[in-house]
Amino acid sequence: MVSSAVIYLLAMCAYALEWAATRRPGDETPGATTGAVRASRFGRIGLGLMLVAVLSHIAGIVLRGVAAQRAPWGNMYEFVTSSLGFAALFALYLIWRRGWAWLGLPLTLLLAVGQGLAVTVFYVAVAPLVPALHSVWFIIHIVAAAIAGATFNLGGIAAILYLVRLRAERKGEVRGWLAQLPSAATLDDFSFRVLRFAFPLWTFTILAGAVWADYAWGRFWGWDPKETWSLVTWVVYAAYLHARVTAGWRGVGAAWLAIIGVIVFWFNFVGINLLVSGLHSYAGI
């Protein structure tokens, strides 16, 4: 896990150099060709490093499960690293198969920071599951939450980049590193597609959690802090999709809702564990 955090950081640096070396499309000034070649080389290095980091990351998750002799999703450290692992796999697929190289820099930034925090702040030693987690719903609920979280992050990244690109387009200043990004309309559509996939999965996560809560504690819903903030996350994304589908609300407002949604999601799975006590407090820190 530590190795993956370091390699993600190196990949992020390579992608940053790629963006820095990128010239405006159509630039014929001296050195433009050299800059393009250099940018392409840095991009390939970044992709190679990201592939190594993802392999190290997934190996860390698997070996954590082997060491614990259970599925590696019993505490905040394990959930964060697993959710980031799903995000890394999705992004690597999109970069490799779809050619969406623009995901490289923002995604490796997220992964370097997330994995760095996981191994330095959130880390806890391997321990048995608490009694409430002994259920088949343990795997169903947590895997669904981790995948939904990964896609929420991809949608949030696209929304942030949409705002940046849109501002540049309106000013007619799409040059340099901004040339690495697709058009604002493409970023907006990508964010919508990703979040449209994530929302029903998050709905299932909450429903599966309710069934699990009845099994573990004898009630489907008890307004525990994490249950409450899971519902808040659902409401934010429901508002986002409702506005886009029924009112055709696109653009800046929808992007900010997507960003608020991913912030609320991470507050639920990190902030609640660190700041509030409840039945779902499994951080172990």
**Any idea where the domains of the chain sit in the sequence?**
1-70+102-127, 129-285
CA distance 268 to 264: 6
* Phi-psi domain of 135 (left: phi exceeds 0; alpha: psi -120 through 50; beta: other): beta
pLDDT tens profile 174-210: 777 787 788 999 999 999 999 999 999 999 999 988 8
Q: What percent of the chain has pLDDT over 90?
A: 54
- 279 pLDDT band, cuts 50/70/90, is low
Q: How does DSSP classify residue 23? A: P
Tell me the whole-structure pTM to 2 decimals.
Answer: 0.86
Residue with token string 């940018």: 39
Give the HSE-up count for residue 250: Cα atoms under 13 Å, Cβ half-sphere: 14
Where is average pLDDT lowest: 14-28, 39-53, 103-117, 127-141? Answer: 14-28
